[in-house]
A and B are shown apart, each in its own frame.
Chain A
């Protein structure tokens, strides 16, 4: 019993890692709290769904993040870049307007009903683990989450672009004076963040059902994650995502009455103790 709920916690934590790392990246570089991130996740899931029923899940896994990458670049070019001198609050509200538009767009294209993505053939078996059966698909989700976390960390730490990203999120003006094209950098990061949201949407498809309301639950949980972890801090987001996933899964079994409240209580406690979040330094 405990093994299964711990596993489920890791699965949901992995999903939150993929979602919130995109949010944290975009906040780090553009100082934008992106409400549209939930809508991008949902859009990714629905695009994945359409691709999957026409060809295969594996193609969906490529197409949906690819489309969202393009959407992200357009969002940065024609949204965030034009608004970069505005108050952060205004930009946040613009992304909120975008969320409303995209939610209705999904209803317009795919209807109000629920859909579900099927688990791909290849992963339709389970692995015996500590006396209980773990579906292989869930293990794969965990691995993807781990891969995203590792990949992003290494990329930011050791690549040249990663160096620029870290420099630019500390001080965009000085970085651009050193000859770094910060606008292109932002486009890449917002594109990447959106692609991650799309990826999260596709891999969530087989275990969370697709509906026009699917965005807000995950969006709110991802917000809780980035606030607990510290705005713009990737490492903080990873830790917080895993903690939150655990709270969801273990709480649902042992404290069903209050399990939905645990993440929020934890968030409030963290913010009282440290208003900038666990690993956040900036305001």
Chain B
């Protein structure tokens, strides 16, 4: 029952993507939307870690940017066809993140943020300095093949197709995460997040689920990075820089991390606002910094939290109003 509802919502959402393509007037605007959807996926990954583990990562650009390098190296050295390279790289990133996670989730919360920052920045520096195939600070072009899974590159790179691919991918990932959290895994990780010691007392092994959450969030970020990389066919060290992680974290907080929808909303709002700001974009980071502070101080649950509580209050108000009216009618 509850599963059919989620599936229906997902189907409607996919259909909604098609509507967006229909009503969007220009290809360049659709390109902006594609970027927004890619970052929405990235934010979903970062937000998932915060929601299920209560941990803030300042280093997820490592997975977002790193996947481009990984695929680039595999394709340049011709180790396997791209059709195999994509799942292989994602799987490898998931495994690596799980191993990293086993070590770093044991670090107390606040140091975790600094640790992820340090690990991420380490790879950024490595990518800018390393000579050879990854091209140092110039970045590397990724030789995507002319056909992918039987589709010609030309068709895949149409703005409309690219948008639909990223959109459907986002809906599917969000659906999978939603279903995953409905299972035992969701309850276990929430228990650990709220009180790790108590969770251990009732016999739950705590490190492995937390590392698993970290690995899942890394893979989701890597999928976003993969889509971004297919879009640009270029892996640049800038995509590994910590400011990329930080901007995404900002989207997560502004959107609200307590729900899966929050980060997605945050990313879309971020891109809409940056597009509207346009000329003032030089100081956009200051504006977003101020927005971040305002959200944390006045509405810790972000935009989605504010909207839900507003709707709830309206409903409650309406309900009590109508109840009052009935009582009045009965009295007369």
With A and B bound together, what is the CA distance between A271 and B119 in angstroms?
A: 12
Given contacts A96-B292, A220-B121, A260-B125, contact A104 B285 (CB under 8 A): yes
A220 B118 Cβ-Cβ under 8 A: yes
Closest to A79 in B: B293
A90: chain B residues at CB < 8 Å are: 296, 300
> Which of B104, B108, B253, B293 is within 8 Å of A98, CB to CB?
B293
* Segment touching A, from B7-15, B84-92, B109-117, B316-324: B109-117
Q: Which of B46-65 contact A (CB under 8 A)?
A: 54, 56
A223 B296 Cβ-Cβ under 8 A: no
B119 A93 Cβ-Cβ under 8 A: no
Chain B interface residue count: which class? 35 or more
B110 A97 Cβ-Cβ under 8 A: no
Q: How far is the CB of B294 from chain A (nearest CB, A)?
A: 9
Q: How far is the CB of A278 from chain B (nearest CB, A)?
A: 13
A227 B246 Cβ-Cβ under 8 A: no
B253 A93 Cβ-Cβ under 8 A: yes
For the complex, would chain A's binding face be called helix, strand, loop or mixed by DSSP majority?
helix
Q: How far is the CB of A276 from chain B (nearest CB, A)?
A: 7
A89 B286 Cβ-Cβ under 8 A: no
Q: Which of B286-309 contact A (CB under 8 A)?
A: 286, 288-293, 296-297, 300
Q: How far is the CB of B241 from chain A (nearest CB, A)?
A: 9
B242: chain A residues at CB < 8 Å are: 216, 220
Q: B201 an interface residue at 8 Å Cβ cutoff?
A: no
A76: chain B residues at CB < 8 Å are: none
> Which of A96, A103, A276 is within 8 Å of B108, CB to CB?
A276
B292 A100 Cβ-Cβ under 8 A: yes
Extra inter-chain contacts (18) besides given A231-B110, A257-B129, A268-B118, CB under 8 Å: A88-B110, A89-B109, A89-B110, A90-B296, A92-B113, A93-B56, A93-B249, A94-B297, A96-B249, A97-B292, A101-B285, A104-B283, A104-B285, A220-B117, A227-B114, A227-B118, A260-B126, A261-B126
Contact sample, A vs B, 6 pairs, CB 8 Å cutoff: A90-B296, A94-B297, A96-B249, A267-B118, A275-B107, A276-B108
Q: Which residues of B contact A (CB under 8 A)?
A: 54, 56, 103-104, 106-111, 113-115, 117-119, 121-122, 125-126, 129, 242-243, 246, 249-250, 253, 282-283, 285-286, 288-293, 296-297, 300
